[in-house]
Amino acid sequence: MLDIAFIRNNPEVVKEGVRKKRMKVDIDEILSIDNDIRFLKTEVETLRADRNRISKDVSRADGPQRDELISQIRFIKENLTDKEPKLKDLEERFEQLMLFVPNPPAPEVPEGDSDEDNVVLREVGKPPTFDFVPKDHLELAESLDIVDMPRAVKFAGARMYFLKNEGALLEFALFKFALDHLFSKGFQPMIVPQLVRREAMVGTGFFPLGEEDTFFVSKDDLYLVGTAEVPLVSYHMDEILNEAELPKRYCGYSTCFRREAGSYGRDTKGFYRLHQFNKVEQVVICANDPEISMMEHRLLLENAEEIMKALELPYRVALACSGEIGQGQVLKHEIETWMPSRGKYSETHSCSTLHEFQSRRLRIRYRGSDGKTKPCHTLNNTAVASPRILIPILENFQNQDGSVTIPKVLRPLMCGIEKIEPKRIK
């Protein structure tokens, strides 16, 4: 959520941000309602002050004077009965509209509509060349007996799966490697709640715009999170931190749930787009300073790239365009990994800076050396998400005999297994 004072002072900047992000928000309506609220609130506060003052005078008056004062109070109450509901309705409308106002993108964000307009900054590693016809990840996974989707679909529905045998070990190894790496960089590991209240979803900016993509447990009025970002950022909701404590750096492991409501018919085969997956997420809460935010953004991106380099996966880093970054994001870089079966680099990581957007919604502040409080800045980035990351691992490290070589850094975490061999499935 943006500061209304910022919108008042920079209406054209905010309108341009709305345009660049391809959103539909009437900033003029918000400013008009804000003006009405301020005018009506002044009237209401004046009437309340008059009522309180006159009420004290009534106890000291008698006769006609007392009757006159009571008549004035009655008139004020009638006015308040008319104006207070109007003020409440305006404030509710204002709060609802403010939830849709996007953060203006940073100046360096390229303008565009989709990931086709993202700007590639660098490529690391080279896609493999095969002297045989390579298989896709699902074909490999089934021949290696490390996945079973038909049995999962039978009782859990589409986009569900069993990961088993060396596949399960491989995912656990990935997460242990990522957590160890982040712990060595000073990040605090956490296993987080996966059911949260609506306030956490609104506070982190996933609602109201992303509500249709979220699983809802109606009986308990709780939502299944699509990323550990939600509980990690919400961890300090309604708190005032000390500046000396900052930055707070967390890495959270969670199972994630997404309805993929806007992806009907897309990526229905394999691991790319599923209803349930697991992820290690990085989150930073830092001081309200764009330069500090940029330093933390680079750190988050560096961490993810170090993991990718250690896995020896070919990838590229792209600067996301204005139509591709989310409502709250000021800046986003994506790591896209080479996936042979798709014939292209596809997103596996997303590194985002949100400035005050989440902290204002969640009331996360810090007290500076001057004694004043400010909203914090927040950032996040994927460390590793599975099984999507298994697509490039299986496909890039496949061998002619159908086996898959395990990345060297993961072998100690997989009981020393160097290859997953094809199995004769009865």
For the segment 244-267, what is each residue's pLDDT rounded down to a tens digit?
999 999 999 999 999 986 666 666
User: Is the residue at 110 inside a domain?
Assistant: no
User: Is the residue at 325 inside a domain?
Assistant: yes
For the segment 24-47, what is each residue's pLDDT rounded down to a tens digit?
999 999 999 999 999 999 999 999
Task: Find out whether 300 and 379 touch, Cβ atoms under 8 Å.
Answer: yes
In this structure, the answer to whether residues 360 and 278 fall within a common structural domain is yes
- Domains: count for the chain: 2
| 411 included as an active-site residue | no
Cis ω on the peptide bond leading into residue 407 (within 30° of 0)? no
What's the pLDDT score for residue 174? Answer: 98
Q: Which of 22, 273, 342, 360 is flagged as catalytic?
A: 273
| 367 included as an active-site residue | no
In this structure, the answer to whether residues 199 and 337 fall within a common structural domain is yes
User: Is the residue at 425 inside a domain?
Assistant: no
Rounded to an integer, the average pLDDT of 296-303 is 98
Output the pTM of the full model: 0.92
> Minimum mean pLDDT among 157-161, 181-185, 282-286, 382-386: which range?
157-161
Beta bridge partners of 373: 367
Question: Which of 39, 67, 98 lies at the terminal end of a domain, its last residue?
Answer: 98
| 388 included as an active-site residue | yes
In this structure, the answer to whether residues 67 and 140 fall within a common structural domain is no
Question: Which of 98, 133, 160 lies at the terminal end of a domain, its last residue?
Answer: 98
CATH number, domain of 42, equals: 1.10.287.40
What DSSP letter does each residue of 91-147 carry, written as one string? HHHHHHHHTTPPPPPPTTSPP-SSGGG-EEEEEES-----SS-PPPHHHHHHHTT-E
What's the pLDDT score for residue 268? Answer: 67
In this structure, the answer to whether residues 366 and 337 fall within a common structural domain is yes
In this structure, the answer to whether residues 91 and 167 fall within a common structural domain is no
- Range(s) of the domain holding residue 160: 115-420
In this structure, the answer to whether residues 18 and 125 fall within a common structural domain is no
Closest CA to 103 of 203, 199, 13, 219: 13
Residue 67's pLDDT band, with cuts at 50, 70 and 90, is: confident
In this structure, the answer to whether residues 76 and 155 fall within a common structural domain is no
For the segment 103-129, what is each residue's pLDDT rounded down to a tens digit?
999 999 999 999 999 999 999 999 999
| 386 included as an active-site residue | no
Q: Classify residue 80 by burial, with Cβ atoms within 10 Å: 0-12, 13-18, 19+.
A: middle
| 347 included as an active-site residue | yes
Question: Which of 72, 98, 124 lies at the terminal end of a domain, its last residue?
Answer: 98
User: Is the residue at 104 inside a domain?
Assistant: no
**For 139, what's the count of Cα atoms within 13 Å in the CB-facing half-sphere?**
9
Q: Which of 234, 350, 352, 359 is flagged as catalytic?
A: 350
CATH number, domain of 235, equals: 3.30.930.10
In this structure, the answer to whether residues 75 and 192 fall within a common structural domain is no
User: Is the residue at 157 inside a domain?
Assistant: yes
Q: Which of 166, 281, 388, 395 is flagged as catalytic?
A: 388
User: Is the residue at 151 inside a domain?
Assistant: yes
Q: Which of 296, 347, 356, 395 is flagged as catalytic?
A: 347
User: Is the residue at 426 inside a domain?
Assistant: no
What's the pLDDT score for residue 408? Answer: 98
In this structure, the answer to whether residues 93 and 198 fall within a common structural domain is no
What's the pLDDT score for residue 63? Answer: 78
Which residue carries 């850094």 as its tokens?
A: 409
In this structure, the answer to whether residues 213 and 243 fall within a common structural domain is yes
In this structure, the answer to whether residues 296 and 231 fall within a common structural domain is yes
User: Is the residue at 103 inside a domain?
Assistant: no
Q: Which of 258, 305, 346, 386 is flagged as catalytic?
A: 258
In this structure, the answer to whether residues 42 and 132 fall within a common structural domain is no
Distance CA 292, CA 298 (A): 10
Task: Find out whether 275 and 257 touch, Cβ atoms under 8 Å.
Answer: yes
